[in-house]
Amino acid sequence: MRLTLVIPPFDQKKTFGGGVFNRGMLPPLGVGYLAAYVRPRGHTVVLIDSPLYDYDCAGAADAIMRSKPDIVGMSVLTKCAHSAYALAKALKQKDKSLPIIFGGAHVTSFFENIFKECPDVDYLIPGEGEESLGELLDRLEKKQEVDDIKGLLVRLSDGTCIATAPRTPVKNLDALPSPDRDIYDNRLYVPLPNQNRQLPATTVITSRGCPYGKCRFCYQGGCYSSPYRRRSPENVVSEIDNLVQTLKVKEIIFWDDNFCVNYNWIERFCDLLDEKQLGIGWTVQGRVNTVSEKMLMRMAASGCYNIYYGLESGSQEMLDFVQKGITLEQSRNAVKWAKRAGMEIRGSVIFAMPSDTPEISEQTIRFACELNVDWMIFYPYHVQPGTFLGEIASDYGTILQEQADMSSPSYVPKAYLDAEQISKLIKEANRRYYLRPRYILRTLWRIKNPYTLKSTIIAFFYWFSLVTKRIDKKNA
């Protein structure tokens, strides 16, 4: 069958704030894994990445139909769910017989409601979709029944909907093929400012699930999180070697929520990477309570130069409330150790979560300035359906809108007057952080080559656009 995989339209520039630069686009690995799994079974795969080409619903529908699909599969996140529904409707208007599949995080969390909300979708695949999708395509191509395929929800011809038995997540991730990079227009994917040093850069993921899985604001901490599994170091290094040889990749951005799990795994990975002598740089995301100075030193020696920490708050009370499972002292140590290892550090905090107050936000600003990392992002809290905080948010404040860009408030806790107060607080946080002489001197000291200079200038204007962004009065 000819499968067209689709990333539905959403405003990428608005989502990440400012819209000054066309950056922040990285290859969607999920659909790459799907393509790699079904292609050896004889199916043809095309990807329409709507945000990459700035398609609206009509433009995406036209592009999909030009690909001449036998079936369409959409990867649906909650932030683009309504866009996916509209796109499915537009496709059915063009070809009523075209089968449409939804998968992705939104489907995993809300599969019970989607058939009612979107009458134009035919199949839902919650959870990890490789095996279910492969079987579905095989059966449809042979015109066989599909109602016994595990991990599937089906809308039957008479309009009734059924759910099959759940599918167990793949235990051995090494058994899955690496993402099919041929479906991507790799030249167009460019990371956010200061997320890399060299191009081309691409993403790799080494694990699925979360080993912690308790954070109340996170999808992985909800009831639909999957068990933690990790690929072998040998399997990961083999993929990286292939990327260097075929795409001439110079940097890898690891997309694991927490790369820094299990020192023995990391040591083996670094040893294998050193043996290959690939000469690449790489960046990771980590938790402050799972890193050690020894771990960070070992990673840095093998090319890791940048780590991102989700710090969340400068208040221990707030960290405990959201069950982050970290302490302020652990954050201090993690930053100190990364600096000793010579790494650049990116961090983020969240303002105006349920039960938050302006006083707590002030503590967070002071804590951020104390840590003095290379790049600090100040986010407003956004309600994430399917999470614990999402369920209780209305008890602690007012939800202004479900969909918003990352930099504009969409939720106001009871201790705040309105969204404008939160917006002003975030702007003040950015000014106080980035205009400190100590920070400016540290940033200038980091600039050691033309690419770093260019990236720093781009990043400055990017974050400046957030600081000067006008407040949306209708949500204030």
* Per-residue pLDDT in tens (0 to 9) along the chain, 476 residues: 999 999 999 866 555 544 444 567 889 999 999 999 999 999 999 999 999 999 999 999 999 999 999 999 999 988 888 999 999 999 999 999 999 999 998 898 888 889 999 999 999 999 999 999 999 999 999 999 999 999 999 998 888 899 999 999 999 999 999 999 999 999 889 887 667 778 899 999 999 998 887 888 887 755 556 789 999 999 999 999 999 999 999 999 999 999 999 999 999 999 999 999 999 999 999 999 999 999 999 999 999 999 999 999 999 999 999 999 999 999 999 999 999 999 999 999 999 999 999 999 999 999 999 999 999 999 999 888 778 888 898 999 999 865 455 678 889 999 999 999 999 999 999 999 999 998 888 888 877 767 677 667 766 666 666 555 554 444 44
Q: What is the pLDDT of residue 223?
A: 54
CA distance 403 to 384: 10
- State how far the Cα of 64 lies from the Cα of 71, in Å rounded to an integer: 10
Length of the chain: 476
In this predicted structure, what is the pLDDT of residue 432? 94
Dist. CA 101–CA 162, nearest whole Å? 14
- Dig out the tokens for 427 from the structure: 């702007």
Residue 66 has which token pair? 């030009």
Q: In whole angstroms, give the CA distance from residue 350 to residue 352.
A: 7
pTM greater than 0.75:
yes
> What distance in Å separates the CA atoms of residue 25 and residue 269, rounded to the nearest whole number?
27
pLDDT of the residue at 272: 98
> What pLDDT does 405 receive?
59
CATH number of 2-163: 3.40.50.280
Class of domain 191-475: alpha beta
Neighbouring C-beta atoms of residue 435, cutoff 10 Å: 10
State the DSSP H helix or E strand holding residue 141, giving kind and residue range, or none if neither. helix 130-141
Burial of 145 (0-12, 13-18, 19+ CB in 10 A): exposed
pLDDT in tens, 176-195: 999 999 999 998 898 876 67
For residue 465, the model assigns a pLDDT of 62
Residue 96: count of CB within 10 angstroms of its CB: 8
Q: Which of 219, 396, 425 is nearest to 318 (CA)?
A: 396
Q: Could you give the C-alpha distances from 70 to 65, 126, 172, in angstroms and in order? A: 10, 21, 31
Name the phi and psi angles at 143, rounded to 5.
Answer: 60, 40
Where are the chain's structural domains? Answer: 2-163, 191-475
3-state class of 470 per DSSP?
A: coil
The pLDDT value given to residue 471: 47
Q: Please, are residues 16 and 405 in contact by the beta-carbon 8 Å criterion?
A: yes
CA-based nearest residue to 406, from 192, 133, 94: 192
Record the tokens describing residue 450, joined without a space.
Answer: 């033309």
The pLDDT of residue 444 is 83
Residue 52 is predicted with a pLDDT of 92
The amino acid present at 198, given as its one-letter code, is Q
Q: Residue 391 has what pLDDT?
A: 87
Beta-bridge mates of residue 230: 207
Q: Are 401 and 475 in contact (CB under 8 A)?
A: yes
